[in-house]
Chains A and B, each alone.
Chain A
Amino acid sequence: MIPVCRLDDLPAGASARLDTTPPIAVFNADGALYAIDDTCSHQDASLSEGWLEGCQIECPLHAASFDLRTGEPTCLPARRPVRTHRVSVVEGMVHVHVTDAPSIPAEAGAAAGEGSAA
């Protein structure tokens, strides 16, 4: 369980990024909190910097879109899901419970192997 920030600091429409390995993005989608792996499964870009609309997050680089509830891509160019993580709020503090399942191999390669493609 990793503390992220105070709930007050994550208003609706906002996102936060955890510098874990791989990094995790936390979103407040109209009051509901979601956490997913931050790196787009298509190419190296931070989903926490994407465009949030309802439960969809659009990648800032190539407009791949993911469903925050499932991590599944909802359009190309992404074809692989990102992991989802459980979020809880304890005494006003947002926490992420990192999923044990390994991230998708290609994604792990992107995060650990390539680092920033920039």
Chain B
Amino acid sequence: MRTVIVVGASLAGLHAVRELRAQGFDGRLVVIGAEPHMPYDRPPLSKSFLKGPASGPGPKASMADGAIAAPTADVTGPAPTAPTADVTGPPPTADATGPALTLAATGTAPAAATAPGAAATALGADATGTPPTADAVRTPGTPGPSTSTAPASDTTDEPTLALADADELADLDAEWLLGTPASGLDTGSRAVLLADGRAVIGDGVVIATGAAARSLPGPPLAGVHTLRTLDDARALRTALTSGPRRVVVIGGGFIGAETASSCVTLGHDVTVVEAAPLPLVPQLGPDMAVFCADLHRRGGARLLTGTGVAGLRPGLRSATRTASAWTASASTPDGRVAAVELADGRLLPADVVIVGIGAYPNTAWLEHTWLDGGRGELRGGVPCDQGCVTALPEVVAVGDVARVGGVRAEHWTSATEQPRVAVRNLLAARTVETANALPYFWSDQYGSRLQFAGHRPTEATVRVEEGGLAPDDDGFLAVYEYEGRPTAVLAVDRPRAFMRARRELRARLAAAL
């Protein structure tokens, strides 16, 4: 295998790159990222990042761009408008992929750069209002600024989101094509097609395109946010810095709860709307869902359950009389959200609306390929065997986008653990190992830390083994049991008990295999 393409500059994508090098792959490595940023950690975005010290706009944000900006140099040539001729031929050697893939390893941004690589500089300009500088683009292969481009004293929490530092990136020796979503996979010619018309050819592909936040139907309105990407988080953070706001969070899942909690901490008036009678029932079951509903109320947010959202209402611009004498006889929508209308007819006034209604796997680029099976199977993620291998042995999938052994999990730990197995199987050209890690996730809300591990069949019963559910109990450890055997554990503010229980579960799982 000479060239491996990792599609998705994500947590899972970066781990795939790490594993490829760690497992001895010394060929060419190309990483394609839809976002302009180098891989960063998403969990803090709804928590510490939202509440972080750098919540104001201004120069502080710019160093963050330096820290997570694309370290690769720009594409040297203009992007061709069509895939190179090579895509229809046999897999070429690394040097024969055409000008589209020739990446220059220089540390400066060409003045005329218009290709996606320039996105990193444009981003810097966005945040600072100043022209992009060469410093905003760094190259792993060259000794660029070893830390960020801003003075060390001017710290923000944003650089800590970066998942890899310059030294590691240099060691990994991958080419990063950022700001360029993949648009297709030509399995015949083994090419990953890019949205701008280019193509990357390789003999192995790791799919790590993750998931995207669902949004509500209807025209976009200012003041309505989702929270999935760094850019989402920056926009929301800015919206939350201009004084107390009436915030309505749609969806009582983990993102909704964490975001609501952060908004309460920031002093906003927060209402959480959950269509189901209780939040988090699918994840934690009804008994523990009652506890989570209480967390909202104890934490200072209003929780409205059992009612869906009918739609978002814009504000109205009243008639304006001007010197030029145009008058509007009626008010017109101002394009900004003013209220959330519930299914029962109630109107919740809102300055900021956060839509946290789940995510869908980024598989649109794989439709009509072999992986689709021609039956729209991709809506539930890329189908893989238990070893993360797709219908094609030279294509593996990891992280939020992968349906491994029939299960798609949006867990941080899946994204970090699956790549080892996936890469091993990719390099072996068949499934030689399966991913059997015990599912694990955590959530921080209203000053409590929830940790969950294991599988929870819907018929499982749950029993509090340590502590209690009351506010003054200091948290608890609960064990889910099915057919007389523990299958999952949930802890609230009991990290030590949780670690022990998680290890016991893991050992039980290993013994059962």
Please report A residues at the B interface, Cβ cutoff 8 Å: 43-46, 49-51, 58, 60-62, 76-77, 79, 105-106, 108-110, 113-114, 116-118
Contact = CB atoms under 8 A, between A and B. Distances in A.
A113 B52 contact: yes
A36 B380 CA distance: 45
B184 interface: no
Contacts of B416: 76-77
Contacts of A105: 152, 155
A49 B495 contact: yes
B145 interface: no
B499 A50 contact: yes
Contacts, number: 69
A110 B47 CA distance: 12
B157 A109 contact: yes
Q: Name the prevailing secondary structure of the A interface residues.
A: loop
Contact of B165 (A45, A49, A79): A79
Contacts of B152: 105
A118 B52 contact: no
A46 B446 CA distance: 18
Interface string B408-444: 0000110010000000000000000000000000101
A60 B496 contact: yes
Nearest to B261: A118
B168 A79 contact: yes
15 contacts: A49-B499, A60-B496, A61-B442, A105-B155, A106-B155, A108-B155, A109-B156, A109-B160, A113-B155, A117-B48, A118-B47, A118-B444, A118-B446, A118-B448, A118-B449
A66 B176 CA distance: 30
Contacts of B447: 116, 118
Nearest to B160: A106
Interface in B440-462: 442, 444-449, 451
Given A113-B52, A117-B47, A118-B449, A60 B160 contact: no
B91 interface: no
Given A61-B442, A105-B155, A114 B48 contact: yes
Contacts of B48: 43-44, 110, 114, 117
